[in-house]
Amino acid sequence: MPFPAAGGARVPLRTAKCIRFARHGCANRPFYHIVVMDKKSPRQGHVIEQLGTWDPLVNAHGEKLCSINLERTTYWISKGALISEGCSMLLGLAGLLPIHPRVYLLAWRNRRAAAAQKVQEKEDAAQVEN
Amino acid sequence: MNIGVRSNLVALGCGARLWYPVHEAMVTLTGSQTVRWIKPRWVPVAKSKMFRIPERKPLPLEEEVELRCLYNNYYMAMRAIRRHLCEERLRVSDTSELAIKAEEEQAEHDQLMEHNSQENLRVAALREARIKKEFEADLARVTASKEKLAKDAEKAEEEALRIINETQEFVKTFIKREDFEKAIETALANPVDYNFAIDQQGNIFRGRSTRPEDVAEEDKEKLLFAVQS
Amino acid sequence: MAATVTLQVYFRSIFFTNNAVLRSFQRKSWRHCSTSVNIYNDRDPAPVFFSENVQTILKKITGTDFNKVFRQRFDEKKLSPPEYKFMTDEELKQKMKNAERLSSKILQMPPVLKERQAISNILSRDPAITGFENCKFVFTDITYGLPDRKRLVVVRDPDGTLRQASWEEAERMNQIYNPRPGRKLKPPKLFQEEHLTNVLERGEYEFVLDSACAQFEPDDPEYLRITSVVYESVDKKRCYQLLHSTRHYGPLCFYLTWNKKIENLLISLLQQEKLEACADIVRLYQLIHTDCKSKMINVDPNQHLELLKAYVEHDSLQQQQLQLAIQAYQEIVRERQQYNENVKTAHGL
């Protein structure tokens, strides 16, 4: 590794910082670090600080795990770090920030799709009966 | 296994040969073949797709209104939260545990500095006393050595006087020029025989021709350091 | 309200499982009949357990048999060959002092606590996000320097409820993000009923207790269940000596005294002629059950036998057996005295 995943990047003072994901899994197994980075640096670039982890695959108990260093996250937010959409959705679900509108959007679309599928199934069943 | 045989360019299913390789099949030594069905990065957009603009699904009106409302609320809330967190940070940074700890640390540091200065004073007093003592000791040593030097000089003077006196005494026995002839004559008149012999008992017999029988028993001269055997 | 209902259900489930244990015990051997597992759930034992008098008594009766305390254990630590040394008396004294200090560290008793309350702290409800995902989201605060118990673990359920994680979830998260040595993410099969009975029949009490200590928190209901099952088994088989001078002897005595089951313990101690330990246990009984009858009668606490007799007369549930044991003990003592006197007279002293 050319630099540690946990952080230590040196950036100029007034650069825009961003809280976002850095992918650390392998092929077909995503795993992300929640990190603070220079906004213009690439996804796998040098990290200023690691704030947590995010495992998007469901575990054996039916859970998705996320760990957040709340103290540092609030510090960086108060310092004016931008938050990527995925991260703000996560932080919203965690209860630190208000829930992101995109979560509502996806939720109602999913609900609508589920309802539509149910209706479709019913119609199919009626057709089969007829 | 990167060692493998590259197959020839493979044509697309339609039968036309492309001018770039759509895929390169790698046949490894183990016999398995990996295929990467992907356009290489350096290949530009196809001519037929050059000016195609992907169609954007229109958002239903009610959804749009709802979303706009939600986003407005979200951004407002975020701004408020950010400001709140910032204020909190500033507030906490003055009277937080850290600040209190820093204060305590400062107090401790002051105390330590006080202790240090007192220690310095104590050590300085000790040092002064020591230096004074050493100075006095030096003085005493110098006076002692002076006295000793004076005594030595006195002694040396006495010694010189004594030597002068002795020499003056000795000078009286010197033979003067006018008495020279007379002294020669007396020397010639009184020859001195320095020869002597020693017997086994350590007796000394003066003279070249003296015989042991000639000397009386009580007049016999003994060697000063006779060997005690 | 919902919380209390779930709690009740939980307790009932524990009760039922215990009955299941009971039945399996009965099926397997007649010695395990009439086992009832008591868990500290009506009165909080912690203030009593941590009070100074009780601690001193427990430490005293635990005993420090150095051969047992410092025996070789197979705990994945590298063994070192024994070392023989010539020492002066002072050095030996110093070494003994060090050994005592170390043994007091090794013999530190696991705390006896009341069963913990289930967490049901709902932080917010947001039914508008149902359907976003069909799985739970678990968020763990990994702020540096937080103790595990204070670590905030939060769960977002699929129906949009944000709640504090239950003890089990929180412990799992702690083990994932801040693993402890000796603790497994999934409790070992050892603690399941069928395996546990098997292991206990083999008499590996200390192993079970040590593993339970490593795996569970001391106020975990599972820990309380396992320890009480083990203590009951020890009491049934009367092999208290196996746990003597280990760190589990104090809690064992405390458990038995708390549940008023000290008769067998007293009898076995009397058979080993440890009268002082008996008196200590009776004193412990009086400290725990402050309203017992034998406390009303003022007996000189230095008269061990008198204290024991007072307990037998007023509080004991098995008077006859205990009295028989006391008589046997007195008989043995008298015979030994007689024998010594006879030997003395034979020697003409």
Q: Per-residue pLDDT tens for C62-84?
A: 988 899 998 888 777 888 888 99
Hey, what are C121's tokens?
């702290």
Greater pLDDT, A63 or B35: A63
- pLDDT, residue C291, reads 83
Greater pLDDT, C72 or B70: B70
How are beta strands C136-141 and A63-68 bridged, if at all? parallel
Whether residue C53 is contained in a domain is answered as no
Please judge whether A94 and C154 are an interchain contact, meaning their C-beta atoms are less than 8 angstroms apart: yes
- My answer on whether C194 and C335 are in the same domain is yes
Please judge whether B89 and A78 are an interchain contact, meaning their C-beta atoms are less than 8 angstroms apart: yes
Chain A residue with minimal CA distance to B68?
A101
Query: Count of residues for chain A?
Result: 130
Chosen domain end from C165, C198, C233: C165
Angstrom distance (rounded) from CA A53 to CA A35: 8
Asked casually if ipTM beats, i.e. exceeds, 0.90, the reply is yes
Instruction: Provide the CB-side half-sphere exposure for A104 (13 A, CA).
Output: 17
The pair phi, psi for residue A47, each rounded to 5°, is: -95, 140
Whether residue C184 is contained in a domain is answered as no
Task: Tell me the three state secondary structure of residue A52.
Answer: strand
Cα-to-chain-centroid distance, residue A113: 23
- The total of other beta-carbon atoms located within 10 Å of residue C55's CB is 13
Chain B residue with minimal CA distance to A70?
B85
Which chain C positions have a beta carbon within 8 Å of A62's beta carbon? 135-136
Angstrom distance (rounded) from CA A35 to CA A54: 11
- CB nearest to A77's CB, from B63, B70, B85: B85
Q: What is the DSSP letter of C79?
A: P
Average predicted confidence (pLDDT) for chain A: 93
Whether residue C17 is contained in a domain is answered as yes
Least confident range of A60-74, B212-226, C83-97, C109-123: B212-226
Please answer whether residues A119 and A53 qualify as being in contact, where contact means their C-beta atoms are separated by less than 8 angstroms. Answer: no
Which chain A positions have a beta carbon within 8 Å of C172's beta carbon? 61
Does this model's pTM top 0.95? My answer is no
- pLDDT, residue B196, reads 87
- My answer on whether C225 and C332 are in the same domain is yes
Q: How far is A129 from chain C (nearest CA, A)?
A: 31
Mind listing the pLDDT tens digit for each residue in A69-102?
999 999 999 999 999 999 999 999 999 999 999 9
Label residue B34 by pLDDT band (50, 70, 90).
Answer: low
Mind listing the pLDDT tens digit for each residue in C234-287?
999 999 999 999 999 999 999 999 998 899 999 999 999 889 999 999 999 999
Please judge whether A99 and C126 are an interchain contact, meaning their C-beta atoms are less than 8 angstroms apart: yes
Hey, what are C312's tokens?
């037998």
Mind listing the pLDDT tens digit for each residue in B186-222?
999 988 888 888 888 888 888 888 887 888 877 788 8
Q: Is the dihedral of CA C189, C194, C195, C196 positive or negative?
A: positive
Angstrom distance (rounded) from CA B191 to CA C331: 133
User: Hey, is the C-beta of A70 within 8 angstroms of any chain B C-beta?
Assistant: no
Whether residue C178 is contained in a domain is answered as no
Q: What is the DSSP letter of C216?
A: S
Label residue C21 by pLDDT band (50, 70, 90).
Answer: very low
Stretch C81-100: mean pLDDT, rounded? Answer: 94
Chain A residue with minimal CA distance to B85?
A78
Ramachandran bin of B26, using left for φ above 0, alpha for ψ from -120 to 50, beta for the remaining angles = beta
Question: Over 80: is that where the pLDDT of B228 sits?
Answer: no
- My answer on whether C151 and C225 are in the same domain is no
Hey, what are B118's tokens?
């007192």
The pair phi, psi for residue B73, each rounded to 5°, is: -60, -45
Strands (DSSP E) contained in chain B are 4-6, 26-28, 33-34, 196-198, 203-206, 221-222
Which chain A positions have a beta carbon within 8 Å of B77's beta carbon? 97-98
Please judge whether C143 and A71 are an interchain contact, meaning their C-beta atoms are less than 8 angstroms apart: yes
The pair phi, psi for residue C141, each rounded to 5°, is: -85, 120
The residues near C270 (Cβ < 8 Å, ≥ 6 apart) are C278, C325, C326, C328, C329
Specify the amino acid at residue C103: S
Question: Which of A33, A34, A67 to probe the C interface (max C CBs under 10 A)?
Answer: A67
Please answer whether residues B205 and B219 qualify as being in contact, where contact means their C-beta atoms are separated by less than 8 angstroms. Answer: no
Greater pLDDT, C18 or C68: C68
Question: Over 80: is that where the pLDDT of B29 sits?
Answer: no
- CB nearest to A101's CB, from B74, B81, B89: B74
Please judge whether C162 and A63 are an interchain contact, meaning their C-beta atoms are less than 8 angstroms apart: no
How are beta strands A63-68 and B203-206 bridged, if at all? unpaired
Please judge whether B81 and A80 are an interchain contact, meaning their C-beta atoms are less than 8 angstroms apart: no
Mind listing the pLDDT tens digit for each residue in C159-217?
999 999 999 999 999 999 999 988 999 999 999 999 999 999 999 999 999 999 999 99
Please answer whether residues A37 and A17 qualify as being in contact, where contact means their C-beta atoms are separated by less than 8 angstroms. Answer: yes
The pair phi, psi for residue A35, each rounded to 5°, is: -135, 160
Render the burial of C144-171: b for 16+ CB within 10 Å, e for the rest. Answer: eeeeeeebbbbbbeeebbbbebebebbb
Please answer whether residues A80 and A16 qualify as being in contact, where contact means their C-beta atoms are separated by less than 8 angstroms. Answer: no
Query: Number of helices (H) and strands (E), helices first, in chain C?
Result: 14, 4
Q: How far is A42 from chain C (nearest CA, A)?
A: 26
Question: Over 70: is that where the pLDDT of B3 sits?
Answer: no
Please judge whether A68 and C139 are an interchain contact, meaning their C-beta atoms are less than 8 angstroms apart: yes
Which chain C positions have a beta carbon within 8 Å of A106's beta carbon? 132
Greater pLDDT, B23 or C194: C194
Angstrom distance (rounded) from CA C159 to CA C140: 19
Count Cβ atoms within 10 A of the Cβ of residue A2 and give its class: 0-12 exposed, 13-18 middle, 19 or more buried: exposed
Which chain B positions have a beta carbon within 8 Å of A97's beta carbon? 77-78, 81
Which chain B positions have a beta carbon within 8 Å of A101's beta carbon? 67, 70-71, 74
Least confident range of A117-121, B125-129, B186-190: B186-190
Please judge whether B73 and A105 are an interchain contact, meaning their C-beta atoms are less than 8 angstroms apart: no
Greater pLDDT, C35 or C206: C206
Q: How far is A18 from chain B (nearest CA, A)?
A: 14
Domain count, chain C: 2
- CB nearest to A78's CB, from B70, B73, B88: B88
Question: Which of A55, A71, A97 to probe the C interface (max C CBs under 10 A)?
Answer: A71
Please judge whether A68 and C126 are an interchain contact, meaning their C-beta atoms are less than 8 angstroms apart: no
Q: How far is B78 from chain A (nearest CA, A)?
A: 7
- The total of other beta-carbon atoms located within 10 Å of residue B202's CB is 15
Angstrom distance (rounded) from CA B72 to CA B76: 6
Angstrom distance (rounded) from CA B51 to CA B49: 6
- CB nearest to A63's CB, from C124, C138, C152: C138
Q: What is the DSSP letter of B198?
A: E
Residues paired with residue A64 on neighbouring β-strands, in sequence order: C137
Question: Over 60: is that where the pLDDT of B11 sits?
Answer: no
- pLDDT, residue C110, reads 95
- pLDDT, residue C54, reads 94
Stretch B135-153: mean pLDDT, rounded? Answer: 97
Whether residue C134 is contained in a domain is answered as yes
Angstrom distance (rounded) from CA C208 to CA C233: 12
User: Hey, is the C-beta of A68 within 8 angstroms of any chain C C-beta?
Assistant: yes
The residues near B179 (Cβ < 8 Å, ≥ 6 apart) are none
- My answer on whether C146 and C240 are in the same domain is no
The residues near C38 (Cβ < 8 Å, ≥ 6 apart) are C228, C255, C258, C259
Q: What percent of chain C has pLDDT over 70?
A: 89
Mind listing the pLDDT tens digit for each residue in A2-36?
677 888 888 888 899 999 999 999 989 999 999 99
- pLDDT, residue B21, reads 59
Render the burial of C88-108: b for 16+ CB within 10 Å, e for the rest. Answer: eeeeeeeeeeeeeeebeeebe
Question: Residue C273's domain spans which residues?
Answer: 2-47+189-211+218-339
Label residue B25 by pLDDT band (50, 70, 90).
Answer: low
The residues near C238 (Cβ < 8 Å, ≥ 6 apart) are C264, C268
- pLDDT, residue A2, reads 62
Question: Over 70: is that where the pLDDT of C40 sits?
Answer: yes
Question: Over 90: is that where the pLDDT of B132 sits?
Answer: yes
Task: Tell me the three state secondary structure of residue C137.
Answer: strand
- pLDDT, residue C38, reads 65
- Listed residue (C182, C184, C209) closest to C196, CA to CA: C209
User: Hey, is the C-beta of A115 within 8 angstroms of any chain C C-beta?
Assistant: no
Please judge whether B89 and A101 are an interchain contact, meaning their C-beta atoms are less than 8 angstroms apart: no
Please judge whether A65 and C144 are an interchain contact, meaning their C-beta atoms are less than 8 angstroms apart: no
The residues near B26 (Cβ < 8 Å, ≥ 6 apart) are B4, B5, B6, B33, B34
Please answer whether residues C154 and A65 qualify as being in contact, where contact means their C-beta atoms are separated by less than 8 angstroms. Answer: no
Q: Chains A and C: how many Cβ contacts under 8 Å?
A: 79
Domain locations in chain B as residue ranges = 1-41, 96-167
Mind listing the pLDDT tens digit for each residue in C295-324?
777 777 678 888 888 888 888 888 888 999
Stretch C85-104: mean pLDDT, rounded? Answer: 95
